[in-house]
Chains A and B, each alone.
Chain A
Amino acid sequence: MKKHLRIFACYFRLNLASALEYRASFISQAFGMALSNSTFLFFWWIAFQQIGGAIAGYTYKDVLFIWAVASSAYGLSHVLFANAANLTGLIVTGELDAFLLQPCCVLVNVLCARTILSAYGDLFYGFAVMLIFFAGEPAAWLWFLYGALTGGVLITAINLAAHTLSFYWGDASAMGRMALEFTINFSVYPDKIYAPAVRALMYSVIPAGIAVHVPLRLFQAFSPGLALAALGGAAAYCAAAGFFFYRGLRRYESGNVIVTRL
């Protein structure tokens, strides 16, 4: 475990250093993404202005909360584990060989090897929304941090599970993009707007509900049972995604591509 944490910390340091090497690009991408996210608050403000009151049981402040959690969770996942969304490319081109040869846990090594600059904007955006709208509410902060952390890990697991299909089907990049798009769309709108079958999907196969909507429920009315069930569900999903990856890895056929990792 200690070794894994050391690799994780080392990758984070190197990825950050490489991001800062192209400072202008880093700042413009992160700022652009944060600005881009903020336009959706404008959309919601207009939608609430049209009707007043609540939409599918969510007030404007509830929507701000799920946006903060979803944005930071997505940011965290793509700052720390961006390579999960790149797994299909590694499998299809045979570049996974380079990771298999190194003397450390394959999954940790693969997941942490890449970052996305604009994801820093998503990560900070969630904190900015919390600072502006929930500054004096410690309970909101507690459940925001809980949601951002569990959501970050869950989004990585969803990416991992979807791209792992490439071991079985060949190129599953479209499936991976689709899974991520579902996750985002299920996260940033009130869950009750969806039909019951879709809501069932949100709390099982693509557990965006556990990542974003459960923290809101816990913030509104704390329930230890719900908190534990959500944590248990998230842990089980992550374990299943890891297990699925290692099962798929057995089917991996090594390529003859020569890769240099700088």
Chain B
Amino acid sequence: MKALRKYYVIAKVSFTNALAYRASVFSRFGFFTLYIYVFMSLWRAIYQEGAVHGYSYAQMVWYLIMTEFVSFFCGAEILQKMNEEVKSGSIAYLLGRPSHYIFYQLANSLGQVPLNFVSFGALATVLGLLFVGPLHSFTPLELAPLLLSILLSILLNFFFLTLIGLTAFVLEDNLALYLIYQKLSFMLGMFLPVEFLPAWLQPVAKNLPFSYIYWAPAKIFVNYSPALCLELIPRQAAWAAAAAAAALLCYQLSIRRLQVNGG
């Protein structure tokens, strides 16, 4: 309990920081609006050419709004921060603190979530209503499983980024790894629902963790059913647990390689 309390304090400090520098959140509103506008325009053009299997135009736009919404939580700041800390040696200051490095970073990241959730949530709702109107299939019943799915997406993405960040201990540069991870998660759920992939690729995508970052919460949002939640949420939880275990193991192995020179 005492251990949890210190991570709660770290998250609280991070939240206070986020509130103090809230202007940076609002400056990202422009990017969010731009991406939604571009995809809305593109899919409108696609739907004008013919029907797209399984999703109405409004569902597709809301799907993309949800994936963008999740992606604006799951920023790559943690990766950049870890790279800098490992390369500059400033990680030594964090290792001396009475907290686990990975959980310290997790608490720090989670502290940013409430402000992002409220601000981007409000913007996403306004844009969706403005561009395509309300999502008629949405019911308040799905709010709890949806929030759980979003939280699992954040955790899954965090532990993947941590895994990539830990490669800074051994690699001169890990940008290529990040780009590959980013594009796999973009193509297997963020830009396209898994159902749009070729038939041979769909089972592959569903058995990989990348689809569970964006596709799972967006699919639950636009196509809610209790059966779907029971299918997707346990898989998200399993992948998040596996990614967390892998990150903790890699951290234990990586920290042995750390060399910090005083100065």
Contact = CB atoms under 8 A, between A and B. Distances in A.
A253 interface: no
Contact of B46 (A29, A42, A51): A51
Interface residues of B, number: 34
A221 interface: no
Interface stretch (A68-76, A137-145, A185-193, A243-251): A185-193
Contacts, number: 90
Contacts of A35: 176, 179-180, 183
B172 interface: yes
Given A39-B187, A118-B175, A50 B53 contact: yes
B34 A182 contact: yes
A189 B38 contact: yes
Interface residues of A, number: 36
Contact of B176 (A28, A54, A182): A28
A50 B176 contact: no
A35 B187 CA distance: 13
A32 interface: yes
B49 interface: yes
Contact of A39 (B35, B171, B183, B197): B183
B94 interface: no
Contacts of B182: 36
A99 to B, nearest CB: 26
B177 A43 contact: no
B30 interface: yes
Contacts of A181: 31, 34
Interface string A42-72: 1100110111111110000000000000000
Q: Which 4 A-B pairs have the closest CB atoms?
A: A32-B176, A25-B173, A39-B183, A36-B179
Interface of B: 27, 30-31, 34-35, 38, 41-42, 44-46, 49-50, 52-53, 171-173, 175-180, 182-184, 186-187, 191-192, 196-198
